[in-house]
Amino acid sequence: MDMNEIKEIFFQECEEQLAELESGLLKLNDGDRDPETVNAVFRAVHSIKGGAGAFGLDDLVSFAHVFETTLDCVRSNKLEPNQDVLKVMLKSADVLADLVTCSRDGGSVEDSRTRGLVKELEALAKGEMPSGGAAEAPKPAAVAAPAAVAPTDDSGFQPIPFSFDDDFGGDDKTVFEVSFKPRRELYSKGNEAALLLRDLSRLGDMAINCDTDALPALDAMDPEETYFSWTISITTDKTEEDIRAVFEFAEWDCDLEVKEVAAEAAEELPMVPVPFDLSALDDEAAAAPAPAAEAPAESKMAAAAARVEKKEAAAAPAAAAANNAAAAANAAGQTIRVDLDRVDRLINLVGELVINQAMLSQSVVENDTNGTSAVNMGLEELQQLTREIQDSVMAIRAQPVKPVFQRMSRIVREVADMVGKSIRLVTEGENTEVDKTVIDKIAEPLTHMIRNAVDHGIESPEKREAAGKDPEGTIKLSAKHRSGRILIELIDDGGGINRERVRQKAIDNDLISPDANLSDEEIDNLIFAPGFSTADKISDISGRGVGMDVVKRSIQALGGRISISSRPGLGSTFTMSLPLTLAVLDGMVVTVAGQTLVVPLTAIVETLQPEASAIHSFGATQRLISIRNSFCPLVDVGRILNFRSTQANPVEGVALLVESEGGGQRALMVDAIQGQRQVVIKSLEANYTHVPGIAAATILGDGRVALILDVDAVVGASRGQSMKQDGGALKADVSLAAAG
């Protein structure tokens, strides 16, 4: 593995650490004071700093070090993580992410931005608030000021009281006791205990005791195990933080305890002074600075064991490489990094396997009338195994939406600062899993919606207070599974959609006619028209007429739907319904006017055989079906898709009761049901072109191509809406609905 590959792995791990960092800070911001949360945040910054140092990323290391120092104050309860403190830390997390991105892709972060945050972090670490307030941190006891002495003359000279009890010379050194025991992971990662002890000795006068009680007989030694531990007494003018900094790259691979002790107690410890210099590490002969006769037995044993370890390491480099490989395997744990292209190829192959298995089953059924033959039984087992393989492979691509939701937190903070608003983002269902392709493609539409919610949806603090609301606005982002799809909701507690203003803007932009009679829902959906905007001026956030139309097209391209629900003065809710996967689905194969269609099983509530007494006319062309004392519109799929020019007789067909997003229940009338099966989704647009009312295509077991029905589009068409995707005919569609 070359250095570029190692560096790429580092940046991948940085993404994980940054996600952990933001997640932990948001928990703290919500009031979580679990010490493990604080430790997780600290470890994330510490890990980024350590890896960046290995690659010489000085800017990243420098900022991470200051950030880490402030977090350590929180970890040691010297700094209370209140809202003001966490605001600075969340901004610092954003800058840290930008520094990682610049280190990977090139470029630089604005120096003034970094410098300003460094000053704020340093002020917090000192117990000061950058805004001028006092941070909630314990401060050292103030030294009593000497009693004032009256001046002796007019020159203003004032004598200073002097006491011989004071420490003359200003020696304020502290004695620390350090307990250090390496774990086997320390050596497998390239660290060396002797080098750590040497660096520690540079901080002051050090006395050391090596505990060799755990050292077994030579034939029982494990070359990968550690047996020594050290107790060190060091007298230094440095702080505990400086001592821990010596072990910062090995802190997670050793048992380390640092505590301050009284000088008298330190003198009672059975310590052996050990002089450390570079020659002791380079030349084995110089390892003993004193005559052998004067060296204590413990020191002799430690030196002998160290020589054995050194000789074994020099004689067996292959064993060291094996240790590193084993450590890497242990570090990987239960995860493995796989190129996404390999997963995609595997999914495509499994899809072809499903198709071929269906074809084979179809051939056997057509040529073998004995339904209990061994071949049929084998095919049933093959079908079950194929389904399990399909589910397992799809689970590999399933990922939680948490990374996307966390990205939205930063957008809310940045845009809210730009427009001078106070807004809090609340997330739910972050662990809801969905196909990675869907995750990658919902980030952009969610970004547009979040920016619009902050800029247009949430009012200014003054307006909110005047309306009796909390000055701090709230945006809620949630995800959940429903009927085999993922439902993402974006809810704000702002002022809602100003329908009069939206209607007037639509008239001014020639999107609707002035005399159009539109429902509230139709007015709300005007914001998805291309070029539509209610902003009075162009800004960096909005006002250029680009945004919500892009959102709608992006969602539709994923086979999803988006709907709006708004209450004036109370806020708006945007609901996105997306497929869990873009690869396979369970469907019901039906026949409509001689054509074979597949209806997604997740949309079907039940199937019915209509009776003549249950069919009722409504208006000139509409029909209703009575289902358990309620009436449901009956939709002729063949007529909607222009497969036939006249309406079919409902009694001669089958009704599929379906539920669509925003359209309620409808009974889709088809001619017959062929069966239920799992099908592999093939993009129709990529191989042909978009067909209104059709979501995709698939290949059946007999080799025929079947079209997958877009249930939402068909239901919408039955209500007078167009099945076109581009939204270009919005004006005509709305006018048609109004006329109807």
Q: How many CB atoms lie within 10 A of CB 181?
A: 18
Confidence of residue 138 (pLDDT cuts 50, 70, 90): very low
The residue that leads in pLDDT, 687 or 654, is: 654
Which residue matches tokens 């539709």? 556
- pLDDT for the residue numbered 179: 92
Question: Backbone dihedral region of 17: left (phi > 0), alpha (psi from -120 to 50 degrees) or beta?
Answer: alpha
**CA 111 – CA 98 distance, rounded (Å):** 12
Q: What is the pLDDT of residues 389-413, one digit of tens each?
A: 877 877 787 888 888 888 888 888 8
Average pLDDT, the chain: 76
- pLDDT for the residue numbered 733: 32
**CA 86 – CA 37 distance, rounded (Å):** 14
- pLDDT for the residue numbered 516: 78
Whether the pLDDT of residue 724 is over 60: the answer is no
Q: What is the pLDDT of residues 406-434, one digit of tens each?
A: 888 888 888 888 888 888 899 999 888 88
Question: Backbone dihedral region of 448: left (phi > 0), alpha (psi from -120 to 50 degrees) or beta?
Answer: alpha
Whether the pLDDT of residue 2 is over 80: the answer is no
Task: Name which of 189-203, 400-414, 540-554 the model is least confident about.
Answer: 540-554
235 close to 266: Cβ distance less than 8 angstroms: yes
For the chain, count helices (H), then strands (E). 24, 23
**CA 553 – CA 398 distance, rounded (Å):** 23
Winning range, highest mean pLDDT, from 35-49, 184-198, 323-337, 504-518: 35-49
The residue that leads in pLDDT, 440 or 490, is: 490
**CA 723 – CA 720 distance, rounded (Å):** 9
3-state secondary structure (DSSP) of residue 572 = strand
Confidence of residue 371 (pLDDT cuts 50, 70, 90): low
Structure tokens belonging to residue 199: 């660096």
DSSP letter assigned to residue 25: H
Among positive and negative, which fits the CA dihedral 87, 88, 94, 96?
A: negative
**pLDDT (average), residues 453-460:** 88
**CA 438 – CA 399 distance, rounded (Å):** 10
Whether the pLDDT of residue 545 is over 60: the answer is no
Listed in sequence order, the residues at least 6 apart from 224 whose beta carbon sits closer than 8 Å to its beta carbon are 184, 187, 188, 323, 326
Q: How far apart are the first and last CA of the chain?
A: 68
Angle CA 528–529–530, to nearest 5: 115
Confidence of residue 662 (pLDDT cuts 50, 70, 90): low
Smallest Cα–Cα separation from 548: which of 520, 524, 570? 524
Q: What is the pLDDT of residues 267-279, one digit of tens each?
A: 555 555 444 444 4
Ramachandran angles phi, psi of 718, nearest 5°: -70, -20
The residue that leads in pLDDT, 329 or 623, is: 623
Structure tokens belonging to residue 16: 């994980």
**CA 234 – CA 180 distance, rounded (Å):** 13
- pLDDT for the residue numbered 266: 52
**pLDDT (average), residues 621-648:** 86
- pLDDT for the residue numbered 127: 77
Give the helix ranges, DSSP H, for 223-295: 240-246, 263-268, 278-282
Kindly state which CATH superfamily the domain 401-579 is placed in: Histidine kinase-like ATPase, C-terminal domain (3.30.565.10)
Whether the pLDDT of residue 660 is over 70: the answer is no
Confidence of residue 478 (pLDDT cuts 50, 70, 90): very high
Kindly state which CATH superfamily the domain 584-739 is placed in: CheA-289, Domain 4 (2.40.50.180)
**CA 102 – CA 105 distance, rounded (Å):** 5
Indicate the burial class of 561 (C-beta count within 10 angstroms; 0-12, 13-18, 19 or more).
buried
200 close to 178: Cβ distance less than 8 angstroms: yes
Indicate the burial class of 478 (C-beta count within 10 angstroms; 0-12, 13-18, 19 or more).
middle
Q: What is the pLDDT of residues 13-53, one digit of tens each?
A: 888 888 888 888 888 888 888 888 888 888 888 888 888 88
Q: Sort strands 485-492 and 473-482 into parallel, antiparallel or unpaired.
A: antiparallel
Helix 83-105 / helix 58-75 crossing angle, nearest 10 deg: 160
Among positive and negative, which fits the CA dihedral 621, 626, 630, 635?
A: negative
Q: What is the pLDDT of residues 675-711, one digit of tens each?
A: 888 777 777 776 777 788 888 888 877 778 888 888 8
Task: Name which of 61-70, 281-290, 484-493 the model is least confident about.
Answer: 281-290
The residue that leads in pLDDT, 722 or 521, is: 521
Global pTM? 0.56
707 close to 691: Cβ distance less than 8 angstroms: yes
Smallest Cα–Cα separation from 682: which of 588, 538, 583, 611? 583
**CA 401 – CA 576 distance, rounded (Å):** 14
Smallest Cα–Cα separation from 502: which of 531, 533, 548? 533
Whether the pLDDT of residue 247 is over 90: the answer is no
Structure tokens belonging to residue 606: 């039940």
Listed in sequence order, the residues at least 6 apart from 604 whose beta carbon sits closer than 8 Å to its beta carbon are 588, 656, 657, 658
Indicate the burial class of 208 (C-beta count within 10 angstroms; 0-12, 13-18, 19 or more).
buried
- pLDDT for the residue numbered 491: 92
Confidence of residue 664 (pLDDT cuts 50, 70, 90): low
Which secondary-structure segment (H or E) carries 634? strand 630-636
- pLDDT for the residue numbered 525: 80
The residue that leads in pLDDT, 130 or 555, is: 555
Q: How many CB atoms lie within 10 A of CB 342?
A: 9
**CA 513 – CA 649 distance, rounded (Å):** 38
Smallest Cα–Cα separation from 71: which of 31, 115, 35? 35
Distances (CA, A) of 435 to 237, 252, 485: 56, 35, 11
Whether the pLDDT of residue 737 is over 60: the answer is no
Longest dimension (CA), the chain: 126
Strands (E), 411-543: 423-428, 433-435, 473-482, 485-492
Please state which architecture CATH assigns to domain 3-125: Up-down Bundle (1.20)
Whether the pLDDT of residue 622 is over 50: the answer is yes
